[in-house]
């Protein structure tokens, strides 16, 4: 068991890591970009090979806590001049036997950039599969994985007074939220995870994160928050003997019931104006769309914006998560687990499994104005938080305007938007016109000539109404009909970030 972290030792360790220049950029340049990418795929050898026989503090700490490999004590001692090897052992981060020190955890630097600039944390978590060289134990505390980074990047960059992180694990979302709020409550059913969160807060000298033990919303009964983030254990797992139930990814309920509980339960903990963001998987059952299932879980008093990034078929989903647990394809155990997953999906008539982002907001006053359930396949790895914040702000402005008000508004096209026109060879008029977003979710939408003309004319000069009048004249169509056709689509372009109000 990881001991309760000692604040003095944590600060001494931070001094040593800092003195060694133990940062993600330094490690990346020490072992190279390709080896760095390979680490995220569970392949450590290229990084080890690149470090060669280097014995400087950065290389030694990188081997021990970046890659999870033993190091000679004579190399480690000079890399930890403040805390000493004994201090690192006392913190539960390493074990010492004879001349060798073995890692008990990983401590990896993790960079994040947001509207306030760049931040880097050292994040301690359990040794991963690559470091262990085999399957994970069920109480594994996850480091910063792909889903963690996705949610961290999605966090809307608004400041607030208080925040809640459900299923905090190593504490990455809590640290991320703490940049926006002075107080974060971080919960988990794993006491071990909460120790990692406390350790990581101390290591990074971040105060204001309070850890609470318990399931879902139990530890915060009766409390409300202005921000909630949750990367819950959303992986759908068969409930049969012999299938491992990893705490870090599996909430112990059937199908997508845990994600349903998070989505359905979060409204009670949102203060007016409060915003909740989470990730999740949802099932498609016998022709019922997964997005419709999510809609059925959402409290209708809330604003909702749900973005589905992908839908996997049951076999692809089973393969993904059986491999993630460290069971190797081609083995009898692999075949047995895949079969258990397929049987479980069959029992509920599951035909696909959606993955995506859920954003819910309690309106400051009045009823909800936002109800979007959509599929967005593209999007890359951008920091979506500032984009989502801008889209919500613009949506809120548009929601206050009736159609006359919107027609009076002056808009401008966002600077990252480009237009592509496709022509049949030899034809003058385009057969397809597309608007493409360079930032945000990198959306591409097809528009007709009237909407293309309107967007093209939104340069912050004339307001929307007169522009529509001029386009109607040009196209020789009825101005009222065109206005009725275009204004709803202008609202759509505002909430998706293609158009902005002039003074935004």
- Under the criterion CB under 6 A, does residue 188 sit at the interface with ligand SAM? yes
Only one residue has tokens 């593209």, namely 378
Per-residue DSSP letters for 387-429?
HHHHHHHHHHHHHT--HHHHHH--EEE-TTEEEEEE--TT-SS
Which of 20, 123, 143, 1 has its CA nearest to residue 71? Answer: 20
- Under the criterion CB under 6 A, does residue 168 sit at the interface with ligand SAM? yes
- Under the criterion CB under 6 A, does residue 247 sit at the interface with ligand SAM? yes
Q: Cα 454 from chain centroid? A: 34
**Segments of 127-240 assigned E as strands:** 163-166, 184-188, 209-213, 225-230
Paired tokens of 381? 């790895």
Count of alpha carbons within 13 Å of 89, Cβ hemisphere only? 12
Q: Exposed, middle or buried, 117 (CB in 10 Å: 0-12/13-18/19+)?
A: exposed
Q: Which is nearer to ligand SAM, 261 or 289 (CB)?
A: 261
- Under the criterion CB under 6 A, does residue 281 sit at the interface with ligand SAM? no
- Under the criterion CB under 6 A, does residue 155 sit at the interface with ligand SAM? no
The footprint of ligand SAM on this chain (CB under 6 A) covers a number of residues equal to: 23
Q: Exposed, middle or buried, 393 (CB in 10 Å: 0-12/13-18/19+)?
A: middle
Q: Which is nearer to ligand SAM, 169 or 238 (CB)?
A: 169
* Shortest Å, Cβ 218 to ligand SAM: 8
Q: Which is nearer to ligand SAM, 181 or 411 (CB)?
A: 181
Paired tokens of 145? 């994985």
* Shortest Å, Cβ 117 to ligand SAM: 22
Q: What is the spatial distance between Cα 487 and Cα 499, in angstroms, rounded to a whole number?
A: 12
- Under the criterion CB under 6 A, does residue 167 sit at the interface with ligand SAM? yes
Q: What is the CA radius of gyration of the chain?
A: 26
Q: Which is nearer to ligand SAM, 235 or 495 (CB)?
A: 235
- Region of 241-249, 280-288, 349-357, 432-440 interacting with ligand SAM (CB under 6 A): 241-249
- Under the criterion CB under 6 A, does residue 162 sit at the interface with ligand SAM? no
- Region of 36-44, 227-235, 460-468, 480-488 interacting with ligand SAM (CB under 6 A): 227-235
Q: Which is nearer to ligand SAM, 62 or 169 (CB)?
A: 169
- Under the criterion CB under 6 A, does residue 289 sit at the interface with ligand SAM? no
Count of alpha carbons within 13 Å of 243, Cβ hemisphere only? 22
Q: Which is nearer to ligand SAM, 187 or 277 (CB)?
A: 187
Which of 137, 130, 166 has its CA nearest to residue 151? Answer: 166
Among 162, 190, 277, 278, which residue sits at the site for ligand SAM (rule: CB under 6 A)? 190
- Under the criterion CB under 6 A, does residue 231 sit at the interface with ligand SAM? yes
Site for ligand SAM in 112-151 (CB under 6 A): 142, 148, 151
- Region of 94-102, 156-164, 246-254, 352-360 interacting with ligand SAM (CB under 6 A): 246-254
* Shortest Å, Cβ 100 to ligand SAM: 30
* Shortest Å, Cβ 361 to ligand SAM: 20
Residues 236 and 290: beta-carbon distance below 8 Å: no
Instruction: Supply φ then ψ for residue 41, to 5 degrees.
Output: -95, 10
Among 110, 155, 162, 187, which residue sits at the site for ligand SAM (rule: CB under 6 A)? 187
- Under the criterion CB under 6 A, does residue 215 sit at the interface with ligand SAM? yes
Q: How many helices (H) and strands (E) does the chain have?
A: 20, 18
DSSP assignment, residue 161?
S
Q: Which is nearer to ligand SAM, 181 or 494 (CB)?
A: 181
Instruction: Supply φ then ψ for residue 23, to 5 degrees.
Output: -125, 165
- Under the criterion CB under 6 A, does residue 337 sit at the interface with ligand SAM? no
* Shortest Å, Cβ 233 to ligand SAM: 4
DSSP assignment, residue 240?
S
Among 172, 340, 383, 467, which residue sits at the site for ligand SAM (rule: CB under 6 A)? 172
Q: Which is nearer to ligand SAM, 8 or 40 (CB)?
A: 40
Residues 77 and 61: beta-carbon distance below 8 Å: no
- Under the criterion CB under 6 A, does residue 233 sit at the interface with ligand SAM? yes
Chain positions contacting ligand SAM, by CB under 6 A: 142, 148, 151, 166-169, 172-173, 187-190, 193, 215-216, 231-233, 247-249, 251
């Amino acid at each position: 068991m990881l001991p309760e972290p000692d604040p003095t030792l944590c600060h001494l360790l931070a001094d040593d890591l800092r003195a060694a220049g133990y940062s993600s950029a330094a490690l990346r340049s020490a072992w190279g970009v390709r080896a760095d990418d390979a680490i995220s795929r569970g392949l450590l050898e290229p990084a080890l090979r690149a470090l060669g026989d280097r014995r400087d503090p950065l290389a030694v700490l990188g081997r021990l806590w970046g890659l999870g490999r033993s190091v000679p004590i004579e190399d480690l001692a000079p890399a930890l001049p403040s805390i000493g090897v004994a201090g690192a052992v006392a913190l539960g981060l390493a074990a010492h036997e004879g001349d060798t020190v073995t890692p008990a955890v990983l401590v990896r630097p993790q960079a994040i950039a947001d509207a306030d600039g760049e931040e880097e944390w050292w994040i301690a978590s359990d040794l991963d599969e690559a470091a262990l060289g085999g399957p994970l134990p069920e109480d594994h505390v996850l480091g910063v994985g792909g889903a963690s980074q996705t949610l961290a990047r999605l966090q809307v960059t608004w400041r607030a007074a208080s925040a809640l992180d459900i299923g905090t694990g190593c504490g990455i979302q809590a640290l991320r939220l703490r940049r926006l709020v002075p107080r974060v409550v971080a919960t988990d059913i794993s006491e071990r995870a909460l120790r990692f969160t406390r350790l990581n807060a101390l290591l990074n000298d971040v105060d204001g994160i309070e850890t609470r033990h318990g399931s879902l919303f139990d530890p915060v009964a009766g409390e409300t928050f202005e921000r909630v983030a949750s990367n819950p254990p959303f992986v759908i797992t068969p409930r049969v003997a012999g299938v491992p139930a990893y705490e870090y990814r599996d909430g112990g309920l059937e199908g997508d019931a845990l994600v349903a509980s998070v989505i359905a339960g979060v409204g009670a903990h949102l203060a007016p104006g409060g915003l909740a963001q989470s990730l999740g998987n949802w099932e498609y059952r016998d022709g019922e769309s997964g997005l419709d299932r999510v809609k059925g879980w959402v409290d209708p008093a809330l604003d909702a914006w749900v973005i589905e990034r992908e839908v996997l078929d049951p076999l692809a989903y089973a393969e993904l998560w059986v491999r993630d647990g460290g069971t190797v394809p081609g083995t009898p155990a692999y075949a047995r687990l895949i079969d258990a997953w397929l049987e479980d999906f069959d029992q509920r008539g599951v035909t696909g499994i959606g993955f995506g982002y859920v954003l819910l907001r309690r309106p400051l006053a009045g009823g909800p104005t936002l109800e979007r359930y959509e599929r967005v396949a593209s999007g890359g790895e951008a920091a979506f938080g500032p984009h989502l914040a801008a889209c919500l702000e613009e949506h809120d402005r548009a929601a206050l305007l009736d159609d006359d008000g919107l027609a009076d508004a002056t808009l401008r096209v966002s600077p990252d938007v480009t237009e592509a026109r496709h022509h049949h060879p030899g034809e003058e008029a385009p057969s397809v016109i597309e608007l493409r977003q360079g930032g945000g979710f990198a959306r591409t939408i097809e528009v007709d000539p009237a909407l293309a003309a309107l967007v093209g004319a939104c340069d912050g000069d004339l307001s929307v109404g007169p522009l529509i009048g001029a386009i109607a004249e040009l196209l020789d169509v009825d101005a009222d009909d065109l206005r009725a056709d275009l204004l709803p689509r202008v609202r759509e372009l505002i909430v998706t970030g293609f158009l902005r109000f002039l003074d935004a």
